[in-house]
């Protein structure tokens, strides 16, 4: 019985070796039958564009690593292996290293965005949304960003935290917030004055940027609590003077 099992084992081993060598011969034949092509240059391209270009020309792409580079935008290819213009077999996989961008980040302008949109903008810029404070607003709808504690365009480190003030919508009865009057007609502002009982201290001012009888400045600023105020200051544009 043992001799029979040994013979079966030898027979299966011979078949396995024969299959292994036959498979290798087929694979070698397939590889050598592939035509030789020149590798394209993908350095300086973003990752998505490189994938499209390489795919179109029959190459594969493998992300080998990322490096910080202050001068190259995130997602841009810094190096490739094999290098461009090298002769290789068709179907070769090109290994690439991409930039993760610089460590110094510019804070995006979030005012006027929704919380969701602001979160996406911060994540895209490798920044973090911090504390979200809610405040009544006569200018912005509910859940819209009113202000940010780091001004837009400021240079900060990666993963810096940006705190936000978000609109909680119109205030309840009894609280009066200063509307945004800039670029509105004096008649519209006068109607608001009659409704709220807040008087207008009107000044005239020359302006080449505004039409006549339009508000060009105001105090207090928009969304300030003016409950209990007797009057506010506004400056109205005068008629344009002919040159």
Band of residue 242 on the pLDDT scale cut at 50, 70, 90: very low
Q: Determine the average pLDDT of the residues in 89-109.
A: 86
pLDDT given at position 212: 83
User: CATH assignment of 186-237?
Assistant: 3.30.10
Q: Do domains 33-101 and 186-237 have the same CATH topology?
A: yes
Given a contact cutoff of 8 angstroms between Cβ atoms, the answer to whether 198 and 175 are in contact is no
Fold of 33-101: Trypsin Inhibitor V; Chain A (3.30.10)
Given a contact cutoff of 8 angstroms between Cβ atoms, the answer to whether 38 and 86 are in contact is yes
Query: Does 3.30.10.20 match the CATH number of domain 104-167?
Result: yes
Domain boundaries of the chain, sorted by first residue: 33-101, 104-167, 186-237
Phi (first) and psi of residue 21, to 5 degrees: -70, -35
State how far the Cα of 157 lies from the Cα of 35, in Å rounded to an integer.
Answer: 49
Q: Determine the average pLDDT of the residues in 6-23.
A: 54
Band of residue 154 on the pLDDT scale cut at 50, 70, 90: very high
Neighbouring CB atoms inside 10 A of 136's CB total: 16
Given a contact cutoff of 8 angstroms between Cβ atoms, the answer to whether 170 and 213 are in contact is no
Reported as a single tens digit per residue, the pLDDT across 161-214 is 999 999 999 999 888 899 999 989 999 999 999 988 899 999 988 777 777 889
């Amino acid at each position: 019985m043992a001799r029979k099992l040994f013979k079966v084992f030898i027979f299966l081993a011979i078949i396995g070796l024969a299959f292994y060598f036959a498979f290798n011969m087929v694979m070698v034949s397939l590889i050598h039958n592939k035509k030789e092509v020149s590798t394209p240059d993908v350095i300086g391209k973003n990752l998505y564009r490189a994938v499209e270009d390489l795919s179109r020309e029959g190459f594969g792409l493998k992300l080998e690593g990322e490096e910080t580079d202050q001068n190259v935008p995130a997602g841009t290819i810094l190096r490739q292996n094999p290098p461009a213009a090298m002769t290789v077999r068709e179907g070769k996989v090109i290994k690439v290293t991409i930039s993760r961008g610089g460590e110094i980040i510019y804070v995006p302008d979030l005012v006027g965005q929704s919380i969701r949109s602001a979160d996406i903008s911060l994540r895209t810029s490798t920044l973090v949304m911090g504390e979200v404070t809610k405040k009544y607003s006569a200018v912005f709808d509910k859940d819209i960003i009113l202000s940010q504690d780091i001004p837009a365009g400021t240079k900060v480190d990666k993963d810096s935290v940006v705190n936000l003030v978000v609109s909680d919508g119109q205030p309840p009865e009894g609280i009066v917030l200063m509307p945004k009057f800039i670029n509105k007609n004096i008649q519209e502002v006068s109607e608001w004055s009659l409704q709220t009982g807040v008087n207008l201290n009107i000044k005239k001012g020359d302006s080449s940027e505004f039409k006549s009888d339009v508000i060009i400045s105001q105090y207090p600023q928009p969304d300030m609590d003016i409950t209990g105020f007797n009057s506010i200051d506004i400056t109205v544009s005068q008629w344009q003077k002919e040159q």
